[in-house]
Amino acid sequence: MLENRALHCVLGAYVADAAALGFHWLYDQSLIARYGGDHPEFHLPNREEYGDKGYFAHEGKAIGDLSHYGAQLTAMLDSLQSSGDYQEERYIQAYRHWFDFGGMWQGYIDHPTRGTLLNIYQREAQEQPLSGCGADDTQNPALSNLPALIAYCGHQDDISQAVESAVRVTNNNDQAVLYAQAAALMLQSALRGGSPYVCVMAARNAGAFIDAQIDKAESLSEKTSREVAAEVGMACQLEASFVVICHLLLNTQSYEQAIRENILCGGDSCGRAITLGAVLGACYSGTEQTIPAEWITKTQLPPVLFQSLR
């Protein structure tokens, strides 16, 4: 059962993802500002607004719908809801229930998901175990399952093994695991009531490589997050996304302000939104800076989230 900060951790991820969908993968900040104005959140996806400045992936999606990142989070939530503990085999089953042929998800399938499914088919054909079946990939899907995993299991003394296992189901890559361990430390800090700054500093325990990424975000403190995204990259690779997420957290004023700024940064805003929204949702739970109620109402939340409240 999810309560208080744990609930707001998962809820914050979902709302941030849905809020960003309308301009997801539009790589022109000026176009986002033109069409989204001061309130780019919950914008109806429109192919004509993209021109040749991005990749339009969400044909037929409505305001409040989740992206494939939100669906990836739901796969993890599904696997945890019945017992509250992580089991790799159960997570793989839930993941396939969502993304395999005839699965629940209807929409864009990203590169690591395609690679993961192909690896699963190949291993099954060769009667090999499915453990660590993920694609060799360092993109944002490596972090999509973490809000649910940490919300349910983050109180455990050593969650790092479960984090690594869950990441390697979809992103079987050592660097992806490092980023995920850092994000998990941020989320654990948020669940303990840490400020966004404290959460970023908590990730320093993940190692020197992550320290360098955080140092980079701090060194760019005089710049806006939009300027940082334009400088380090707006795409799906964690090398860019992690710096932007850290910069947004280090300069946040509220959940609403940070999620809005993330959208205006452009590019893979939905990919960044999962971690960003989860940390801020937990950090600001019970405060005036929390998730706006009207944003929650607009989001098409999965039924399993409400089952988690029982």
Residues within the annotated binding site for Mg(2+)? 268
Q: Which domain holds residue 238?
A: 1-309
User: Count of domains in the chain?
Assistant: 1
- Taking only the tens place, the pLDDT of each residue in 125-158 is 999 999 999 999 999 999 999 999 999 998 887 8
pLDDT for position 309: 58
pLDDT for position 254: 98
pLDDT for position 90: 96
Give the CATH number for residue 139: 1.10.4080.10
Q: Phi, psi at residue 43, to the nearest 5°?
A: -90, 135
pTM: 0.97
Q: Phi, psi at residue 130, to the nearest 5°?
A: -95, -5
CA distance 200 to 216: 12
Residues of the chain predicted below pLDDT 50: none
- Taking only the tens place, the pLDDT of each residue in 72-124 is 999 999 999 877 899 999 999 999 999 999 999 999 999 999 999 999 999 99
Residues within the annotated binding site? 268
pLDDT for position 207: 86
Can you say whether the dihedral through the CA atoms of 239, 243, 245, 246 is positive or negative? positive
pLDDT for position 307: 81
C-beta separation of 171 from 137 below 8 A: yes
C-beta separation of 280 from 249 below 8 A: yes
> To the nearest whole number, what is the mean pLDDT of the chain?
95
